[in-house]
Amino acid sequence: MTVYDTAFSATTASPVFFDEEHQMLRDQVRRFVETEIKPNGLQWEEDGMVPRALFRKMGEIGFFGIRYPEEFGGSGLDHRATIVWAEELGRSTFSGVAIGALVHTDMASIHIWNAGNDEQRRKWIPKCISGEAVSAVAVSEPGAGSDVKGITTRARRDGDDWVLNGSKLFITNGVHADLYCVAAKTDPEAKPSRSVTMFLVEKGTPGFSVGRQLDKHGWRSSDTAELVFEDARVPATNVLGEEGRGFYEIMKNFQNERLVIGAMAMGEAQVALEITLDWVKGRNAFGAALWEKQAIRQRLAMLAARVEACRQMIYATGRRAALGEDVVREVSMIKALAGELVNEVMYDCVQFHGGMGFMRESTIERMSRDARVQSIGGGATEVMLEEVAKRM
Note whether 134 and 181 are within 8 A (CB).
Answer: no
d(C-alpha 134, C-alpha 122), whole Å:
15
Catalytic residue among 141, 257, 274, 365: 257
Active site residue 257: yes
Task: Tell me the angle at which helices 20-32 and 52-61 cross, rounded to the nearest 10 degrees.
Answer: 150
d(C-alpha 123, C-alpha 137), whole Å:
18
**SS3 of residue 286 by DSSP:** coil
Which residues, 6 or more positions from 329, have their beta carbon under 8 angstroms from its beta carbon? Answer: 387, 388, 391
d(C-alpha 193, C-alpha 31), whole Å:
44
**SS3 of residue 71 by DSSP:** helix
10-16: long-range contacts (C-beta < 8 A, 24 or more apart)? 14/312, 14/315, 16/315
Note whether 198 and 239 are within 8 A (CB).
Answer: yes
Beta strands in the chain (DSSP E): 135-138, 154-158, 161-172, 179-185, 196-202, 208-213, 224-235, 239-240, 284-285, 288-289
The DSSP code for 2 is -
d(C-alpha 220, C-alpha 50), whole Å:
10
13: alpha, beta or left, given left = phi > 0 and alpha = psi -120 to 50?
beta
- Among 146, 252, 154, which residue's Cα sits nearest to residue 196? 154
Note whether 267 and 203 are within 8 A (CB).
Answer: no
- Among 167, 236, 224, which residue's Cα sits nearest to residue 199? 236
Just list the catalytic residues.
257
